[in-house]
Amino acid sequence: MENMGERVIEPLIMGRVVGDVLDFFTPTIKMNVSYNKKQVSNGHELFPSSVSSKPRVEIHGGDLRSFFTLVMIDPDVPGPSDPFLKEHLHWIVTNIPGTTDATFGKEVVSYELPRPSIGIHRFVFVLFKQKQRHHFNTRKFAIEYDLGLPVAAVFFNAQRETAARRR
């Protein structure tokens, strides 16, 4: 994985994305978002007409066994001076395998094209690394989501398809 550098997050802080939307974090994955081959740079302005279709989102990092979730939002709705509707959700893609792009994931919330009405809006793409499926802990999960004790359970057995079985 290439060296991200501490400076990568600075434009996000200056543009108040870290603050209004996110807490401070350390980027570890290089993500390229591009509309029609044009890469999205922090703070650059695009025309709504050029972002009417979903962009290409490349994940440079991780591995094929790690999965990522992408979220796109607008924190300046309906207008930046009084964003009483913040945030507006535009897109969610889950289970994106590492080193691939968003087309390999599952579109949980379909892409909604940006249509800023009042003032200049920011549109933010956020990438999360999903927790591994290994080392899952059911008890811990129940506590985390405050589920309490189970109400039902059942189990079955299985082995390798071609394994020698008792006749």
**Where along the sequence are the contacts to other proteins (CB under 8 A)?**
5, 7-8, 10-12, 14-16, 41-44, 80-81, 119-120
- Cβ distance to other proteins smaller for residue 12 or 21: 12
Find the shortest distance in angstroms from Cβ 151 to other proteins. 50
Closest approach of other proteins to the CB of residue 32, in Å: 12
Of 46 and 92, the one with the shorter C-beta distance to other proteins is: 46
- CA nearest 114: which of 124, 102, 127, 128? 124
42/94 with CB nearer other proteins: 42
Spatial CA neighbour of 9 closest among 26, 23, 21: 26
Q: How far apart are CA 83 and CA 72, in angstroms?
A: 17
Distance CA 31, CA 34 (A): 10
The minimum distance between CB 82 and other proteins, in angstroms, equals 9
Smaller CB separation from other proteins, 4 or 92:
4
Report which of 57, 65, 69 is spatially closest to residue 129, judged by C-alpha positions. Answer: 69
